[in-house]
Structure 1
Amino acid sequence: MNEALHRRGLLACAGLAALGAARADDEAAAKPARPPLERVAPDASLGRQLDGSEPRLSDYEGRVVVVSFWATWCPYCREEFPYLDALQRAGRDRLQVVSVNTEERDVFRKVARLLSEQVKLTLTYDPAKASRKAFEAPGSLPYSVILHRDRSVAGIKTGWGEGSLKNLVATVNAALAADAA
């Protein structure tokens, strides 16, 4: 008898979960799909640096640019960080990696002070959320946008894992090769 009640309870939970998934699908279908990001304005904000300066995308004219959004509380962001720095070091003057911290100024200040002497990439934070808006950053992290020199989007990477790392490197290499031709 107890087993039968347990089974009914599991079936009821499965039914509710399916109903919830169907409702979520209906709601998603009812919302118009946002077109994918295709280009970013050259004057797009890249946040604010520790010294108060506010770099713009146009500051990196002639380079492929990777803009990565991250937070210290995100373990995947922390795992990705050394790879982004390695990309910057390998790309030298043909590539610019900008890491935009999504946290408050005090958190950014502490982290930037620790990292600024260790990494070659540009560290910023986004107090007005202007960068997040310009690059259509979702709430999930890490999120990176790879841009060709003409500021068209070469690719977007969300999440973390071996596959996403290979995708990021392949997209950056393809953008560098295409822009060199």
Structure 2
Amino acid sequence: MNKEIVDRRGLLAWAGLAALTGSLPAHAEDAPKAGPARPPLERVATDAPLGKVLDGKELKLSDYEGKVVVVNFWASWCGYCREEFPYLDKLQRAAADRLQVVSVNTEERDVFRKLSRALAEHVQLTLAYDPGKACQETFKAPGSLPYTVVLRRDRSVAGIKTGWGESSLKGLVDMVNAAITAA
């Protein structure tokens, strides 16, 4: 897509946000402050929830023992999530013996069911949904999408990626490669 069009869309999104909130801050330090900061995500428990798959089975991080795990939060209405999806599937296909990508849909079960059935024969990554938001809480998902956490085999966090773009794609690939090659 033409970079100028993408930039223009970004500006329009900011303009729409400004219309809803009244104005845009002139500088980052003028922006409203969020509530108390949560401690950074450094490690995830082996039995951490990863949501449910289409047949209702609950996934746990321990299901992927010995593999690097990429947990990606997404929604069908998120354009950036849809752009990112093929790249996540390529990662899964390229390193299936050492890597597991779990894409956690944040929408309700009926939406997930339709999406999962439509995508199942086209992707190799694991599709899950998070009805009780336990996975989102465990991985400290901020609510903005897409949000991706890369875990090393020992379940320490190799990196976190928020948003989407060419630089974030390269960052994601670098994080995954570093986690796979780590001892």
Taking structure 1 as the reference length, what is the TM-score of the superposition?
A: 0.84
Can you give the 5+ residue segments of structure 1 that lack an aligned partner in the other structure?
1-12
State whether residues 25 and 31 of structure 2, in contact with CA within 8 Å, keep that contact through their aligned partners in structure 1: no
Change in 2 beyond 3 A, CA 1:94/1:20: closer
TM-aligned CA deviation for residue 23 of structure 1:
6.6
Aligned length: 162
Q: Does 1:95 align with 2:99?
A: yes
Select the residue among 32, 45, 48 that pairs with 2:49: 45
Select the residue among 27, 30, 34 that pairs with 1:22: 30
Can you give the 5+ residue segments of structure 2 that lack an aligned partner in the other structure?
1-21
- The 5-angstrom pairing of residues 1-181 of structure 1 reads 17=25, 22=30, 24=32, 27-28=33-34, 31-178=35-182, 181=183
Question: Percent identity of the aligned residues?
Answer: 71
Taking structure 2 as the reference length, what is the TM-score of the superposition?
A: 0.83
For 1:175 and 1:47, the matched residues in 2 are separated by: 23
The one-letter code sitting in structure 1 at the alignment partner of 2:116 is: A
Q: Superposition RMSD on alpha carbons, in Å?
A: 2.0
Counterpart secondary structure, 1:34? coil
Change in 2 beyond 3 A, CA 1:138/1:92: same
For 1:51 and 1:32, the matched residues in 2 are separated by: 38
The structure that has the greater radius of gyration is: 1
